[in-house]
A and B are shown apart, each in its own frame.
Chain A
């Protein structure tokens, strides 16, 4: 097993994710917020995830103001900050990342390609078409963050009987696969991730390499690309490939010559 270096940002991220998990699981018992991350309700104030919003609008072919107005805030955050959710809020992504971290010696060459995979767009197209034509919304069932929260909450409220075992099994298999493949789920399949990265038009925060300070051309370092859990080709990435960035700041922290600046607000 390789040495795992844990930086300050790593700890901050883990604490953030843990706090979110504790909030989701504790809030219904205090009665100020109900729901999981597919839809969260604070009584009258509702937050709906953009994927669920899309599926509801397509499935019923109606658009209610009561959905659209609360979603504006969520969509605005996504347009500005992109896959911030995946790095700092989603507990499943975090778990996948840590499952991978313990087998760092067997790590794949973490160097992503500029050719983004089209498979996930095919999948999201199929999902949206199925919602439009057959009224079947598949991500409700297999989208891991919502499903895992749902199963955990149900377990806390009612006990083991009635917990969706299919989802637990699915999540377990995903986690075992993550030991080798890391966050491949997030960058290739996750329908919510696809929607988020497609929506992140402005994407304010992203790493930018200072080409003069970078040692890549002399030493073939590529440490940033190897560290990146989302396999973003940081050195060559254009704006479009950078929508994958989940703002984990690993590249910024791990760069040996501090050549990476985090471009924020312009």
Chain B
């Protein structure tokens, strides 16, 4: 099969155009503007978008529907990767429907999510907006403290107001899911998330 000079030049031009097009997409900040909260046992963000083949297994197996697909606002490269949406469902890996083993890590076919021990998981941190929190507004509400599965992540002071301790929080989002305030006084952020190191 011979390639004429014209065809070869066309090939080069197309390659350059395609590469430029793909480069643009990598210039879009992926996860730096809106860092997404990943399911437990996920590898470092640097490799996550490549290792995750967007097969949707984790979304299918999640018993609490906590895992949803990230959309294009989370970065073009992160689109359709799994993320935790605590509003739809909390991640109950610590206590609840998923506490024997993490199903997403067990079923992930490529190793983007890995089956690790429960004690090593930290998906993120719950952040409190004191201006909306019912307890800080003088009402009686201890929902987050009662439902939090982790000891010492949320403590109450004398006036029954919750205090969040980010070192102990595992970022499961149970407090966010059950927060009765409208809008929610709690948000789940990925600050302090501990990722599995990808061996190279």
Residues of A within 8 A of B (CB): 28, 34-36, 38-41, 43, 46-49, 52, 55-56, 59-62, 64, 66-67, 116, 118-119, 121-123, 125-127, 129-131, 134-138, 140-141, 146-147, 149-150, 153-154, 157-158, 162, 164, 166, 240
B77 near A136: Cβ-Cβ < 8 Å: yes
Residues of B within 8 A of A (CB): 1, 3, 7, 10-11, 14-15, 18-19, 21-23, 25-26, 46-47, 49-57, 59-61, 65, 68-69, 71-72, 76-77, 79-80, 88, 107, 109-111, 198-200
Which residue from A38, A59, A67, A127 sits with its C-beta under 8 Å from B54? A38
For the complex, give the distance between the alpha carbons of A157 and B66 in Å: 12
For the complex, give the distance between the alpha carbons of A131 and B22 in Å: 9
Using A135-B46, A157-B60, A164-B71 as known contacts, list a sample of 14 further A-B pairs with CB atoms less than 8 Å apart, ordered by residue number in A: A39-B53, A41-B109, A61-B200, A66-B111, A123-B18, A126-B19, A136-B26, A136-B77, A138-B22, A138-B25, A140-B54, A141-B54, A150-B69, A162-B71
Residues of A with C-beta under 8 A to B25 = 136, 138
A35 near B49: Cβ-Cβ < 8 Å: no
Residues of B with C-beta under 8 A to A157 = 59-60, 65
Residue of B nearest to A29 (CB): B60
Residues of A with C-beta under 8 A to B54 = 38, 140-141, 146-147, 150
Residues of A with C-beta under 8 A to B23 = 130, 134
Residues of A with C-beta under 8 A to B52 = 140
Residues of B with C-beta under 8 A to A116 = 1
A56 near B59: Cβ-Cβ < 8 Å: no
For the complex, give the distance between the alpha carbons of A147 and B53 in Å: 11
B19 near A135: Cβ-Cβ < 8 Å: no
B50 near A56: Cβ-Cβ < 8 Å: yes
Give how many A-B residue pairs fall within 8 Å (CB-CB): 149
Residue among B18, B60, B111 having the largest count of chain A Cβ atoms under 10 Å = B60
B10 near A150: Cβ-Cβ < 8 Å: no
Given A41-B109, A118-B3, A118-B11, verify A162-B55 contact (CB < 8 Å): no
Residues of A with C-beta under 8 A to B107 = 34, 41, 43
Residues of B with C-beta under 8 A to A40 = 55, 109
B61 near A34: Cβ-Cβ < 8 Å: yes
Residues of B with C-beta under 8 A to A47 = 109
A136 near B22: Cβ-Cβ < 8 Å: yes
A-B contact pairs, 13 of them (CB 8 A): A34-B107, A49-B53, A56-B50, A56-B110, A60-B51, A62-B198, A67-B111, A119-B10, A137-B49, A147-B80, A154-B59, A157-B59, A166-B72
Residues of B with C-beta under 8 A to A149 = 56
Residue of A nearest to B106 (CB): A43
Which residue from B26, B59, B72 sits with its C-beta under 8 Å from A130? B26
Give A115 Cβ to nearest chain B Cβ, in Å: 8
A123 near B50: Cβ-Cβ < 8 Å: no
Residue of A nearest to B25 (CB): A136
B1 near A59: Cβ-Cβ < 8 Å: no
For the complex, give the distance between the alpha carbons of A137 and B200 in Å: 19
Residues of B with C-beta under 8 A to A125 = 15, 18
B55 near A35: Cβ-Cβ < 8 Å: yes
Residues of A with C-beta under 8 A to B72 = 166
For the complex, give the distance between the alpha carbons of A28 and B1 in Å: 46
Residue of A nearest to B60 (CB): A28
For the complex, give the distance between the alpha carbons of A62 and B50 in Å: 12
